[in-house]
Structure 1
Amino acid sequence: MRVPKQLRDGHTEDAVVREIEDENGNVITVDFGSDAADMSVDVVDETVIVVMDNRQFQFDLPAGATEVSANNGILTISE
């Protein structure tokens, strides 16, 4: 599983993006900080929609992803 281009290049200027790979699979985390604590995420077909504060963006669900969640300003994409 790879970090989507939109998360690498466009919407994470103030965020920390991490890729974790272990024997249980891959996890991508994007920490938007405490200002994004009210972030919500929805998956429609193969598109992930993220809404926080006055911003909204979307990106394609990475191949192999089985779960997308948001909690306390951290977006998590798991395999």
Structure 2
Amino acid sequence: MTLEQFTREEGQVARRYEYDDETVLAVDFGTENADATVDLVDDTVIVVLGDEQYDLELPDGADDAHTFIKNGVLTVELEGDL
């Protein structure tokens, strides 16, 4: 999974946090995108911002993923042996 597509093209703030039992990815799209949506289909996170769509492939070894977006901040929580 690469976060560069957000930081390079859109100037968004994207971070990856590593914990003992999970990895958390966070992307701040800004409050003007507070109505953005996120969905998880198989191994792909799909983010829709107005007319734009971003697809993020989950890394191999991600056993369980949880996604949500609130106030324009996308959070992807990954469990497994990444």
Q: TM-score, normalised by structure 2?
A: 0.75
Unaligned runs of 5+ in 1: none
- Please tell me whether Structure 1 or Structure 2 has the larger radius of gyration of its CA atoms: 2
Greater mean alpha carbon deviation, residues 58-67 or residues 30-39: 58-67
Residues 1-48 of structure 1 deviation map (CA, whole Å, 9 limit, x = unaligned): xxx22x21x233221011122345221100111111011011111111
Name the residue aligned to 1:11: 6
Tell me if the contact between 2:6 and 2:13 (Cα under 8 Å) persists in the aligned partners: no
Aligned partner of residue 27 in structure 2, secondary structure: strand
Q: TM-score, normalised by structure 1?
A: 0.77
Percent of aligned positions that are identical:
39
More strand by share: 2
Query: How many positions carry a matched residue from both structures?
Result: 74
Unaligned runs of 5+ in 2: none
Name the residue aligned to 2:40: 43
1: CA distance, partners of 2:11 / 2:30: 8
**Aligned residue identity for 1:66:** A
